[in-house]
């Protein structure tokens, strides 16, 4: 308390000095300029000229000082002038009367103007500064913890927060989130629950000789729930929880960020046992180098963070949680044991995790009783927790737009397509020619996929344009979740991606831009097969590329010579071309089904996987009858 009072007195003294300087500045600069703009001194001859010109509207003579005060103009254009009276001018009165000027001779009362001057020059500034001092005093009381357990230390600004960390202390009742509100991350919850248990009952761990981890680093792709897990720790722990973002340590002036780090750990040491959570820790924890593009402020902040994590007493129970999706950029000194002893992966959820996340978010939404979330979980591989939450919310919004009281299965399935491909583009109307091309393109994908053994079955085919730019798409859903991909499966996937372009070439003998996204995906997969997966006959088990950041999908860069890179390009081209030939051969073998299904899709625009498989597997015993008109008949080889 004595230290708090000392800080308060120092801040108030500094404020008083600034207040006095402001008052003198107002008197020496502001008021003279106002006064000079109010009354203008002129000569007596100028006054007579303005009277003769009819510009003067009112004249007042001060008998004590022989000063003449006169005004010109009306309303907002009124101006006031002063001049000295010329002695023995007996014609002045008659001149004023002839021009219709109102004039008077009186002794002016200076008391009002003096009081007005005192009020403007001293009273108003002192009042404003007193108000500012009262507000500052309240802020200082807040920063010293006089207003309860939930507050922001220093506020990050003002004279009371020049060196403060800006960390917010979160109480258990503020977040409203516990581990029950986090689904699909059982391993991460288990690791963090152990830290919470250590803080609640450190005695049983000390009996066996275990020490409390100094820090835990949460790493994973965006949207997987790293910040949500940290909030759940705040809801579970019975200790103070300091929450701050790494960007709040970034300052313009060198040393300010380090001062905030010192203040943060000083507060944590006073509140121990506690938890400190630094979100996006890569902002201040980037790897230091000896290059020319160094940042002194960031490096000093990192050095101070390293020092503080080594310096605090681990027996008091201070745990630092950090979250990042770029762990590869962090400094090795920050990642070593003794600072961050535990690394908690927060990966994309698997099938069971997606089911649990969907059920968790669906609990807060009114739904029909026959909702099958397992189908949605299977159709969203690679989706994060944030994506799945968005899918449920989009389904609820769609139900409201259509006037329903509850969400049905169709709403959720449509919301999956909205998140993946965007909304339907009602303004885009395809011509019959383009609709036919897109229909053959999508059926080409579907037939190649359905012809492969073990391939994911087709669940939906549509030629309705979407806001993502897609004119149509074919959706496949895996029956079971796979964690490994064989070379044959990768080659089959390449063939499916080439099926759309192969159908265009087979039927129309030309190419369109509709296969651009397929070509991009096929090239990326083929390059990964050669450079990362070791699935090339020429290079074998040699890694020729390095992934920059697997959590941000930044791709891979080649780590080979220029000559080898040319051979890599040739191998990628051979893989894609081989898959293209396989797709062409498959479509030629099912050419009549291609015509039948394309016409059916062109008519209905959207068909389900069951409809597609029923027509594709049906043995008609004869070729389907083609349209009789040359305009509608597709071109064949």
- Tell me: pLDDT of 178 over 90: no
Q: Are residues 535 and 611 in the same domain?
A: yes
Q: Are residues 232 and 356 in the same domain?
A: no
pLDDT at 2: 44
Closest to 460 in 3D by CA, of 479, 443, 480, 435: 443
Span 248-281, pLDDT tens digits: 887 655 667 888 888 888 888 888 788 888 988 9
**3 state SS of 555:** coil
Domain extent at residue 83: 2-114
Is 478 a known active-site residue?
Answer: no
Backbone angles phi and psi of 244, in degrees to 5: -150, 150
Which has the minimum average pLDDT: 1-5, 419-423, 492-496, 589-593? Answer: 1-5
Cα–Cα separations (whole angstroms), residue 352 to 159, 356, 357, 379, 411: 52, 6, 9, 13, 22
Q: Are residues 189 and 300 in the same domain?
A: yes
pTM higher than the cut 0.75: no
Q: Are residues 189 and 76 in the same domain?
A: no
Examine residue 629 and state whether it is found in any structural domain, yes or no: no
Q: Are residues 177 and 196 in the same domain?
A: yes
> The domain spanning residue 521 has which CATH number?
1.20.58.760
- Tell me: pLDDT of 34 over 50: no
Length of the chain: 637
Q: Are residues 442 and 389 in the same domain?
A: no
Give the span between the Cα atoms of 57 and 598, in whole angstroms: 93
CB of 339 within 8 A of CB of 309?
Answer: yes
Tell me what the pLDDT averaged over the chain comes to. Answer: 79
Q: Are residues 321 and 383 in the same domain?
A: no
Query: How many domains does one find in the chain?
Result: 4
Span 181-223, pLDDT tens digits: 888 888 888 888 888 888 878 778 888 888 878 889 999 999 8
- Tell me: pLDDT of 286 over 50: yes
Closest to 63 in 3D by CA, of 105, 112, 109, 113: 105
Q: Are residues 210 and 77 in the same domain?
A: no
Please identify which of the residues 442, 491, 504, 596 carries the catalytic annotation.
442
Q: Are residues 414 and 468 in the same domain?
A: no
The structure tokens listed for 459 are: 């669940």
C-alpha Rg value of the chain to the nearest Å: 39
pLDDT at 82: 86
Q: Are residues 475 and 410 in the same domain?
A: no
Q: Give the residue with greater pLDDT, 37 vs 449.
A: 449
Give the span between the Cα atoms of 50 and 58, in whole angstroms: 12
Examine residue 133 and state whether it is found in any structural domain, yes or no: no
249-258, 575-584, 603-612 — which one is most confidently predicted on average? 575-584
Angle of helix 226-236 relative to helix 186-200, nearest 10 degrees, comes to 30
């Amino acid at each position: 308390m004595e230290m708090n009072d000392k800080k308060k007195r120092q801040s108030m003294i500094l404020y008083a000095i600034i207040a006095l300087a402001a008052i003198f500045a107002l008197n020496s600069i502001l008021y003279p300029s106002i006064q000079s703009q109010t009354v203008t001194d002129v000569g007596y001859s100028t006054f007579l000229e303005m009277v003769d010109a009819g510009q003067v509207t009112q004249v007042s003579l001060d008998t004590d000082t022989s000063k003449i005060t006169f005004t010109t103009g009306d309303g907002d254009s009124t101006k006031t002038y002063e001049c000295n009276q010329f002695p023995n001018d007996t014609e002045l009165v008659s001149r004023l009367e002839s021009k219709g000027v109102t004039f008077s001779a009186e002794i002016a009362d200076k008391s009002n103007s003096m009081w007005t001057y005192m009020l403007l020059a001293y009273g108003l500034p002192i009042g404003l500064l007193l108000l500012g001092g009262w507000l500052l005093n309240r802020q200082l009381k807040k920063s010293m913890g006089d207003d309860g357990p939930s507050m922001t230390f220093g506020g990050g600004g003002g004279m009371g927060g020049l060196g403060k960390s800006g960390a917010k202390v979160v109480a258990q009742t503020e977040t409203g989130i516990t581990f029950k509100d986090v689904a699909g991350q059982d391993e991460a919850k288990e690791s963090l629950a152990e830290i919470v248990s250590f803080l609640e009952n450190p005695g049983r761990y000390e009996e066996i000789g275990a020490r409390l981890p100094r820090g835990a680093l949460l790493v994973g792709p965006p949207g997987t729930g790293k910040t949500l897990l940290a909030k759940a720790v705040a809801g579970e722990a019975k200790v103070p929880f300091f929450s701050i973002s790494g960007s709040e340590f970034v300052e313009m002036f060198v040393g300010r960020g380090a001062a905030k780090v010192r203040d943060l750990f000083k507060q944590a040491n006073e509140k121990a046992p506690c938890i400190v959570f630094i979100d996006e820790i890569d902002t201040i924890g980037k790897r230091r180098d000896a290059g020319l593009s160094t940042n002194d402020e960031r490096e000093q902040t990192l050095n101070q963070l390293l020092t503080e994590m080594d310096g605090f007493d681990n027996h008091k129970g201070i745990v630092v949680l950090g979250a990042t999706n770029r762990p590869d950029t962090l400094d090795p000194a920050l990642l070593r044991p003794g600072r961050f002893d535990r690394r908690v992966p927060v990966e994309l959820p698997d099938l069971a995790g997606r089911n649990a996340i969907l059920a968790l978010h669906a609990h807060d939404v009114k739904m029909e009783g026959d909702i099958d979330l397992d189908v949605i979980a299977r159709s969203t591989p690679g989706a994060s927790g944030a994506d799945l939450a968005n899918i449920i919310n989009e389904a609820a919004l769609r139900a409201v737009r259509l006037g329903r009281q509850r969400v049905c299965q169709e709403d959720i399935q449509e919301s999956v397509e909205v998140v993946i491909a965007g909304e339907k583009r009602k303004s885009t109307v395809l011509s019959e020619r383009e609709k036919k091309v897109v229909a053959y393109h999508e059926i080409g994908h579907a037939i190649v996929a359905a012809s492969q053994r073990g391939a994911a079955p087709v669940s939906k085919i549509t030629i309705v344009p979407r806001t993502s730019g897609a004119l149509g798409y074919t959706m496949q859903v895996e029956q079971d979740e796979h964690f490994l991909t064989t070379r044959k499966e990768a080659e089959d996937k390449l063939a499916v991606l080439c099926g759309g372009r192969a159908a265009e070439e087979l039927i129309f003998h030309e190419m369109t831009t509709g296969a651009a996204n397929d070509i991009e995906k096929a090239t990326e997969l083929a390059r990964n097969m050669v450079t990362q997966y070791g699935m090339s006959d020429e290079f074998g088990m040699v890694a020729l590329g390095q992934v920059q950041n697997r959590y941000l999908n930044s791709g891979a860069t080649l780590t080979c010579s220029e000559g080898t890179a040319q051979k890599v390009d040739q191998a990628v081209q051979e893989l894609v071309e081989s898959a293209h030939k396989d797709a062409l051969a498959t479509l030629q073998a099912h050419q009549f089904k291609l015509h039948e299904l394309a016409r059916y899709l062109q008519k209905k625009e959207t068909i389900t996987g069951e409809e597609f498989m029923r027509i594709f597997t049906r043995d008609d015993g004869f070729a389907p009858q083609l349209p009789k008109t040359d305009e509608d008949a597709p071109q064949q080889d």
